[in-house]
C-alpha cells in the first residue's frame, strides 16, 4: 500500500483553516475534545476507533473522564499527511452528528 507523503506547510495551513478546533502542535494535528461525561467521551473514542481501523490509520490519544486529547501524524512520512486531514474531518463529523 502506498502511504501518503508529508504535506507542505502551506497545504497543512490551508487544511487546518477548514478544520474546526484543530491546530498544529509539534508536527501533529492536535485537538482537545470535551464531552458531557465519561460515557460520551468513550463512545466518541469507540466510533473514532472503528473509522481509524477502517483507514488503517491510528491516532495518538489520551482520555481522562470527559476529555479526549487527539494528535494525528503519519509516522511513516514523519509528519502530517492527507490521512491525518481525512481522519480529523471524520472525527469532527462524529461530534457534529
Tell me the helix, strand and coil percentages in the chain, rounded to 5.
Answer: 45, 25, 30
Q: Which pLDDT belongs to residue 3?
A: 72
Q: Is the pLDDT of residue 2 over 80?
A: no
| Residue 4 · residue 77 · CB < 8 Å | yes
| Residue 94 · residue 48 · CB < 8 Å | yes
Q: What is the pLDDT of residues 77-94, one digit of tens each?
A: 889 999 999 999 999 999
Edge-to-edge strands of the sheet including 67-72?
23-25, 28-34, 67-72, 60-64
Q: What is the pLDDT of residues 27-80, one digit of tens each?
A: 999 999 999 999 999 999 999 999 999 999 999 999 999 999 999 999 888 899
Amino acid at each position: 500500500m502506498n502511504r501518503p507523503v508529508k504535506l507542505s506547510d502551506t497545504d497543512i495551513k490551508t487544511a487546518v483553516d477548514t478544520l474546526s478546533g484543530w491546530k498544529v502542535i509539534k508536527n501533529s494535528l492536535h485537538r482537545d475534545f470535551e464531552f458531557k461525561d465519561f460515557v460520551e467521551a468513550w463512545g466518541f473514542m469507540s466510533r473514532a476507533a472503528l473509522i481509524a481501523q477502517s483507514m488503517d490509520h491510528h491516532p495518538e490519544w489520551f482520555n481522562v473522564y470527559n476529555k479526549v486529547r487527539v494528535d494525528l501524524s503519519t509516522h511513516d512520512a514523519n509528519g502530517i499527511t492527507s490521512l491525518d486531514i481525512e481522519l480529523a474531518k471524520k472525527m469532527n463529523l462524529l461530534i457534529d452528528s
